[in-house]
Amino acid sequence: MTTDTLKYYFDCWENFNSCFAYRAPFQERFTNAILALAEQNRDHQQQGLNRKASFMLVECFQNIIKHSESMEINDLTTSDGGMFSFKFLDSNFLINSINVIKNSDIEKLTAQIEQVNALDKEALKEHYMKHLQNNTLSEKGGAGLGLIELARKSGEKILYKFNHIDSDVSQFHQQITFKKESDTPADFTKFLEDNDSYYASMKDRHIFLQYKGDFTQKAILPILLLTEQRYNANLDEKEKTKRAKHIIIEILQNIVRVTKGEEEELQKPTLILGKHDDHLYVMAGNVVSESKKEILTEKLDYLLSLEDEELAELHRKTIKASIQFENKESTGLGLIQVVRSGIEKIKYKFYPLDNNKFLFAISIKF
Amino acid sequence: MKSNSLHIAATDDTPEVNFSLVSGKSSILGRSLPENAYEFYRPIISWLNSNIHLIKHKNELELSFDYFNSSSSRYLFEMLNILERSPNRQLITVKWKVEKGDELMFEKAQELSSLLDLNFQIEQE
């Protein structure tokens, strides 16, 4: 995985204020992490969107969990188990999910969605009340209530499709849309169609998490939790994941924040995490000015020119010298840490953008 | 009257801190990745500077971290540096516990200890 991968997604997401995608396997305990990641975003904090967006996220994610739990383990390979994603696009909010379902469930699910999509606001409310009273729980405990609630909260049709996998199972694609202005003519059906290629590109590149958005302190712990899940129990992988997590902290706290400034409004920072052939990859990118590009290039080229022992010595010297700084001045420890971290030299590149700005992209292998 | 012990409860991104230089048992445990390490560690460093004279008998500082970020390492070093400058530093033992197999924390513990003239015991357990 190279920095070009990051540039590719940076271009793909140009029109999104922020976005997130995570590939299966999923666990119930991720619900809070994904919610926290969405809620710390400034886009989420728009009036009228926040509570609904949170509700819809939880409902969609837990629907996937419910469906996954009902599948046999053999049906859910780690590479084909699905994807969960959300996007903020202007003032609109989209949730796309892909999960595997049994072919024998398709007919019932289609009928439920079609029924919900055919109802207007009042009829949906009535339908919801009727279901609540009848309490006709399905085997999965859903009673279709989740779908009705999603339709009520979003105020838009539930978009969906099925992709046949084999004679037993299919992929179920779903898109929930929330438009800030309900009469906006914007058509978001293309995102349901695009989801196939998007999912395929993540699989081909062995990416399990992508995030573009605000990186407040509250974003760090959810990202660490979602990373932890990717390692197996053996110590070697645990150690790699620990190193990767450590560097994710440094990248989010130092590189993303140090480089933020007036450019922040142009495009938000991005983070991509991948795993391939027992190696973890961390890629991060941010838009910087020409002057910041020069400073970073000088620092990184110097650090990359040093041998491991020289870097270790520089790290020790910098820690020793740091107590002479009375206040919060940056000591450069974070950048040294990042350069020392991978199993091979880190890769970085600046991609020219408009208005004398650059995309600063960095890639580290563990 | 100033308290001769210090206790700060752990949060999601800051460790539990206990200093009791009279009883001789102190510890910093958990994860340390605060957004603003200066704000978190400055009061602790200030307390330590004011109370370091309380070390009259054997003292043990237990350290154990899940993670600490680079800015925390700077303040951790500063705290240990205060202990190193104590006239009674020979009474101090820093016991740094590292989870078995956690090479990263082991390396970090070794690196910090190499910078200080203090009695360090790094234990992998």
Contact A323 B67 (CB under 8 A): no
Q: What is the pLDDT of residues A217-266, one digit of tens each?
A: 888 888 888 888 776 545 567 777 788 888 888 888 876 665 555 555 56
Nearest C-alpha of chain B: how many angstroms from A245? 9
Burial class (CB in 10 A: 0-12, 13-18, 19+), A352: exposed
Contact B71 A337 (CB under 8 A): no
- Residue with more model confidence, A157 or B102: A157
Cβ atoms B94, B119 nearer than 8 A: yes
Q: What is the pLDDT of residues A319-340, one digit of tens each?
A: 998 887 765 556 788 889 888 8
Nearest C-alpha of chain A: how many angstroms from B77? 7
Region A56-81 average pLDDT:
69
Per-residue pLDDT at A136 = 55
For B104, the closest of A220, A221, A239 (CB atoms) is: A239
Q: How confident is the model at residue B48 (pLDDT cuts 50, 70, 90)?
A: very high
- Is the full-model pTM beyond 0.90? no
ipTM for the predicted complex comes to: 0.85
Q: Provide φ and ψ at A114, rounded to 5°.
A: -60, -40
B33 contacts on A by Cβ (under 8 Å): 220, 249, 253
pLDDT at residue A79 tops 90:
no
Q: What is the pLDDT of residues A120-173, one digit of tens each?
A: 989 988 888 887 777 655 545 455 788 888 998 888 999 999 999 889 889 999
Least confident of A72-81, A109-118, A130-139, B22-31: A72-81
Q: Alpha helices of A216-331 — where are they, by DSSP H?
A: 217-228, 235-250, 256-258, 290-305, 308-322
Cβ atoms A96, A191 nearer than 8 A: yes
β-pairing verdict for B119-124 and B92-98: parallel
Amino acid at B117: D
Per-residue pLDDT at A160 = 95
Shortest CA distance from A224: residue in chain B: B67
For B35, the closest of A217, A238, A242 (CB atoms) is: A217
Helices A217-228 and A30-39, interaxial angle, to 10°? 150
Nearest C-alpha of chain A: how many angstroms from B70? 5
Contact of A333 with chain B, judged by CB distance below 8 Å, is answered with yes
Reading the block at residue A45, the tokens are: 């904090």
Contact of B106 with chain A, judged by CB distance below 8 Å, is answered with no
B12 contacts on A by Cβ (under 8 Å): 221
